[in-house]
Amino acid sequence: MNVLVIDGSRRAKSNTGTIARGLEARLVAVGATVDLWRVPNWSAAPEDLDAALTKLAVCDAVVLVAPVYLDELPAVTQRALEGLYARRDELGESAPRFYGIAHSGFPEPLQRKAELRTMKFFAASMGWPWQGGVGFGGTSPIDGRPLEEAGMFSKQLRKCLPLVVADMAAGWPFSAETVARCDRSPFPIPLKVMIWTVNARTRKTARAQGLDLEARVYAGEAPAGECRQEVGAAPRRSHICP
Protein backbone atom coordinates (compact mmCIF):
# COMPACT_ATOMS: atom_id res chain seq x y z
CA MET A 1 0.00 0.00 0.00
CA ASN A 2 1.29 3.38 -1.06
CA VAL A 3 0.18 6.17 1.31
CA LEU A 4 0.51 9.93 1.46
CA VAL A 5 0.22 11.36 4.98
CA ILE A 6 -0.55 15.08 4.89
CA ASP A 7 0.61 17.05 7.93
CA GLY A 8 -1.92 19.87 8.12
CA SER A 9 -0.19 22.20 10.57
CA ARG A 10 2.59 24.77 10.21
CA ARG A 11 3.03 25.41 13.94
CA ALA A 12 6.52 24.99 15.37
CA LYS A 13 6.66 21.94 17.69
CA SER A 14 3.39 20.85 16.18
CA ASN A 15 1.25 18.10 17.68
CA THR A 16 0.02 17.31 14.18
CA GLY A 17 3.63 16.53 13.23
CA THR A 18 3.81 14.19 16.23
CA ILE A 19 0.65 12.35 15.18
CA ALA A 20 1.61 12.26 11.49
CA ARG A 21 5.04 10.78 12.30
CA GLY A 22 3.47 8.29 14.72
CA LEU A 23 1.05 7.23 12.02
CA GLU A 24 3.82 7.00 9.43
CA ALA A 25 5.90 4.69 11.68
CA ARG A 26 2.93 2.40 12.31
CA LEU A 27 2.01 2.24 8.62
CA VAL A 28 5.60 1.39 7.68
CA ALA A 29 5.55 -1.35 10.34
CA VAL A 30 2.67 -3.09 8.49
CA GLY A 31 4.53 -2.89 5.17
CA ALA A 32 3.16 0.33 3.66
CA THR A 33 5.28 2.75 1.65
CA VAL A 34 4.66 6.18 3.14
CA ASP A 35 5.43 9.74 2.13
CA LEU A 36 4.90 12.56 4.58
CA TRP A 37 4.02 15.97 3.14
CA ARG A 38 3.57 19.13 5.20
CA VAL A 39 1.20 21.79 3.91
CA PRO A 40 3.11 24.87 2.75
CA ASN A 41 2.81 28.19 4.53
CA TRP A 42 0.37 30.94 3.62
CA SER A 43 2.57 32.62 1.02
CA ALA A 44 3.13 29.35 -0.89
CA ALA A 45 3.50 29.39 -4.67
CA PRO A 46 1.50 26.88 -6.80
CA GLU A 47 4.78 24.91 -7.35
CA ASP A 48 4.93 24.17 -3.63
CA LEU A 49 2.12 21.67 -4.23
CA ASP A 50 4.11 19.74 -6.86
CA ALA A 51 5.49 17.12 -4.47
CA ALA A 52 2.01 16.33 -3.15
CA LEU A 53 0.50 16.13 -6.64
CA THR A 54 3.26 13.77 -7.81
CA LYS A 55 2.52 11.42 -4.94
CA LEU A 56 -1.27 11.78 -5.18
CA ALA A 57 -1.13 10.67 -8.80
CA VAL A 58 0.14 7.22 -7.75
CA CYS A 59 -0.88 6.55 -4.14
CA ASP A 60 -3.60 4.14 -2.97
CA ALA A 61 -4.58 6.10 0.11
CA VAL A 62 -4.16 9.56 1.53
CA VAL A 63 -4.70 10.63 5.11
CA LEU A 64 -5.00 14.23 6.20
CA VAL A 65 -3.98 14.87 9.82
CA ALA A 66 -4.96 18.34 11.01
CA PRO A 67 -5.60 20.28 14.22
CA VAL A 68 -8.78 22.19 14.96
CA TYR A 69 -8.22 25.94 14.91
CA LEU A 70 -11.28 28.00 15.77
CA ASP A 71 -13.59 25.07 15.07
CA GLU A 72 -12.15 24.37 11.62
CA LEU A 73 -9.10 23.40 9.57
CA PRO A 74 -6.19 25.86 9.88
CA ALA A 75 -6.24 28.50 7.14
CA VAL A 76 -2.98 27.20 5.63
CA THR A 77 -4.48 23.72 5.35
CA GLN A 78 -7.64 25.04 3.72
CA ARG A 79 -5.50 26.98 1.28
CA ALA A 80 -3.46 23.85 0.43
CA LEU A 81 -6.67 21.86 -0.20
CA GLU A 82 -7.99 24.64 -2.42
CA GLY A 83 -4.68 24.58 -4.33
CA LEU A 84 -4.90 20.82 -4.85
CA TYR A 85 -8.50 21.17 -5.99
CA ALA A 86 -7.51 23.87 -8.50
CA ARG A 87 -4.92 21.50 -10.00
CA ARG A 88 -7.00 18.30 -9.78
CA ASP A 89 -6.91 17.76 -13.57
CA GLU A 90 -3.18 16.93 -13.23
CA LEU A 91 -4.13 13.81 -11.25
CA GLY A 92 -5.73 12.10 -14.23
CA GLU A 93 -7.74 9.04 -13.19
CA SER A 94 -6.09 8.76 -9.77
CA ALA A 95 -8.63 8.54 -6.95
CA PRO A 96 -6.90 7.54 -3.70
CA ARG A 97 -8.97 6.45 -0.71
CA PHE A 98 -9.20 9.51 1.54
CA TYR A 99 -9.09 9.29 5.36
CA GLY A 100 -9.25 12.15 7.85
CA ILE A 101 -7.75 12.59 11.31
CA ALA A 102 -8.83 15.71 13.19
CA HIS A 103 -7.47 16.53 16.65
CA SER A 104 -8.30 19.28 19.09
CA GLY A 105 -7.41 20.84 22.41
CA PHE A 106 -10.85 20.30 23.90
CA PRO A 107 -11.79 16.67 24.36
CA GLU A 108 -15.40 16.53 23.15
CA PRO A 109 -16.06 15.15 19.60
CA LEU A 110 -18.23 18.15 18.73
CA GLN A 111 -15.02 20.23 18.47
CA ARG A 112 -13.92 18.18 15.46
CA LYS A 113 -17.23 17.73 13.68
CA ALA A 114 -17.04 20.73 11.31
CA GLU A 115 -13.45 19.94 10.33
CA LEU A 116 -14.27 16.33 9.53
CA ARG A 117 -17.22 17.47 7.43
CA THR A 118 -14.90 19.81 5.52
CA MET A 119 -12.56 16.89 4.85
CA LYS A 120 -15.50 14.80 3.61
CA PHE A 121 -16.60 17.64 1.36
CA PHE A 122 -13.05 17.96 -0.01
CA ALA A 123 -12.96 14.22 -0.83
CA ALA A 124 -16.28 14.50 -2.66
CA SER A 125 -15.05 17.56 -4.59
CA MET A 126 -11.92 15.69 -5.67
CA GLY A 127 -13.93 12.60 -6.63
CA TRP A 128 -12.03 10.52 -4.06
CA PRO A 129 -13.74 7.81 -2.01
CA TRP A 130 -14.23 9.17 1.53
CA GLN A 131 -13.21 6.52 4.03
CA GLY A 132 -14.35 8.36 7.14
CA GLY A 133 -12.68 10.46 9.75
CA VAL A 134 -11.56 9.91 13.31
CA GLY A 135 -10.96 12.49 16.00
CA PHE A 136 -8.66 12.79 18.99
CA GLY A 137 -9.27 15.28 21.77
CA GLY A 138 -7.00 16.84 24.37
CA THR A 139 -3.87 16.87 22.21
CA SER A 140 -2.46 20.26 23.34
CA PRO A 141 -0.32 18.91 26.23
CA ILE A 142 1.60 16.62 23.86
CA ASP A 143 3.52 19.77 23.03
CA GLY A 144 5.27 18.42 19.95
CA ARG A 145 6.96 15.54 21.78
CA PRO A 146 7.18 12.13 20.12
CA LEU A 147 4.19 9.96 21.05
CA GLU A 148 6.42 7.64 23.05
CA GLU A 149 7.64 10.54 25.23
CA ALA A 150 4.33 12.23 25.95
CA GLY A 151 3.19 9.78 28.65
CA MET A 152 -0.49 9.84 29.58
CA PHE A 153 -1.18 12.67 27.13
CA SER A 154 -0.50 10.41 24.14
CA LYS A 155 -1.87 7.18 25.63
CA GLN A 156 -5.13 7.40 23.68
CA LEU A 157 -3.25 7.95 20.40
CA ARG A 158 -0.86 5.08 21.07
CA LYS A 159 -3.81 2.80 21.79
CA CYS A 160 -5.90 3.87 18.80
CA LEU A 161 -3.45 4.52 15.94
CA PRO A 162 -3.02 0.74 15.46
CA LEU A 163 -6.82 0.52 14.86
CA VAL A 164 -6.57 3.35 12.33
CA VAL A 165 -3.69 1.58 10.57
CA ALA A 166 -5.48 -1.80 10.60
CA ASP A 167 -8.51 -0.32 8.81
CA MET A 168 -6.29 1.46 6.29
CA ALA A 169 -4.16 -1.62 5.63
CA ALA A 170 -7.30 -3.69 5.05
CA GLY A 171 -8.47 -1.09 2.50
CA TRP A 172 -11.63 -0.41 4.54
CA PRO A 173 -13.31 2.77 5.65
CA PHE A 174 -12.79 3.48 9.36
CA SER A 175 -15.01 1.11 11.31
CA ALA A 176 -17.60 2.39 13.78
CA GLU A 177 -15.50 0.85 16.56
CA THR A 178 -12.34 2.70 15.46
CA VAL A 179 -14.24 6.00 15.27
CA ALA A 180 -15.83 5.50 18.70
CA ARG A 181 -12.60 4.47 20.42
CA CYS A 182 -10.56 7.37 19.00
CA ASP A 183 -13.24 9.84 20.09
CA ARG A 184 -12.98 8.90 23.78
CA SER A 185 -11.64 11.60 26.04
CA PRO A 186 -7.99 10.99 27.01
CA PHE A 187 -8.51 12.56 30.43
CA PRO A 188 -9.35 10.19 33.30
CA ILE A 189 -12.26 12.29 34.61
CA PRO A 190 -15.89 12.43 33.41
CA LEU A 191 -16.27 14.60 30.30
CA LYS A 192 -18.86 16.86 31.98
CA VAL A 193 -16.48 17.62 34.85
CA MET A 194 -13.69 18.23 32.35
CA ILE A 195 -15.79 20.70 30.31
CA TRP A 196 -16.93 22.51 33.48
CA THR A 197 -13.32 22.81 34.70
CA VAL A 198 -11.95 24.07 31.37
CA ASN A 199 -14.83 26.56 30.98
CA ALA A 200 -14.29 27.88 34.53
CA ARG A 201 -10.56 28.28 33.84
CA THR A 202 -11.24 30.05 30.53
CA ARG A 203 -13.66 32.50 32.23
CA LYS A 204 -11.14 33.18 34.98
CA THR A 205 -8.36 33.88 32.46
CA ALA A 206 -10.71 36.11 30.43
CA ARG A 207 -11.67 38.11 33.55
CA ALA A 208 -8.00 38.55 34.45
CA GLN A 209 -7.24 39.83 30.93
CA GLY A 210 -10.39 41.98 30.66
CA LEU A 211 -11.69 40.00 27.69
CA ASP A 212 -15.35 39.70 26.72
CA LEU A 213 -16.15 36.10 25.86
CA GLU A 214 -19.60 37.06 24.57
CA ALA A 215 -18.32 39.60 22.00
CA ARG A 216 -19.30 38.77 18.44
CA VAL A 217 -16.01 39.03 16.63
CA TYR A 218 -17.38 39.67 13.15
CA ALA A 219 -20.18 42.04 14.13
CA GLY A 220 -18.16 45.24 13.84
CA GLU A 221 -17.88 48.03 16.36
CA ALA A 222 -20.63 50.47 17.20
CA PRO A 223 -19.51 54.02 18.02
CA ALA A 224 -17.93 54.03 21.47
CA GLY A 225 -20.44 54.15 24.29
CA GLU A 226 -23.53 53.76 22.09
CA CYS A 227 -24.34 50.13 22.71
CA ARG A 228 -22.72 49.31 26.03
CA GLN A 229 -24.43 46.30 27.54
CA GLU A 230 -24.83 45.66 31.21
CA VAL A 231 -24.60 42.18 32.68
CA GLY A 232 -25.73 42.43 36.28
CA ALA A 233 -23.85 45.39 37.71
CA ALA A 234 -20.69 44.86 35.66
CA PRO A 235 -20.30 46.92 32.48
CA ARG A 236 -18.89 44.80 29.65
CA ARG A 237 -16.13 45.96 27.40
CA SER A 238 -18.01 44.99 24.22
CA HIS A 239 -19.65 47.72 22.12
CA ILE A 240 -21.71 45.17 20.21
CA CYS A 241 -25.48 45.76 20.14
CA PRO A 242 -27.63 42.73 21.01
Ligand X SMILES: Cc1cc2nc3c(=O)[nH]c(=O)nc-3n(C[C@H](O)[C@H](O)[C@H](O)COP(=O)(O)O)c2cc1C
Binding site for ligand X (CB under 6 A): 9, 11, 14-16, 67-71, 103-106, 111, 139-140
CB closest to ligand X, residue no: 105
CA distances from 239 to 114, 205, 207, 210, 213 (A): 29, 21, 17, 14, 13
Nearest residue (CB) to ligand X, 70 versus 208 = 70
Residue 9 C-beta: closest distance to ligand X, Å: 3
**Phi-psi domain of 144 (left: phi exceeds 0; alpha: psi -120 through 50; beta: other):** left
Smallest gap from residue 149 Cβ to ligand X (A)? 15
DSSP 3-state percent helix, strand, coil across the chain (nearest 5): 45, 15, 40
Closer residue to ligand X in complex, CB, 103/239: 103
Nearer to ligand X among residue 67 and residue 100 (C-beta): 67
- In whole angstroms, what is the distance from residue 58 CA to residue 202 CA? 46
Smallest gap from Cβ 37 to ligand X, in A, equals 15
For ligand X, which is the closer residue by CB, 115 or 167? 115
CB of 112 to ligand X, least distance (A): 8
Alpha-helical runs (H) found in 127-231: 155-170, 176-183, 191-209
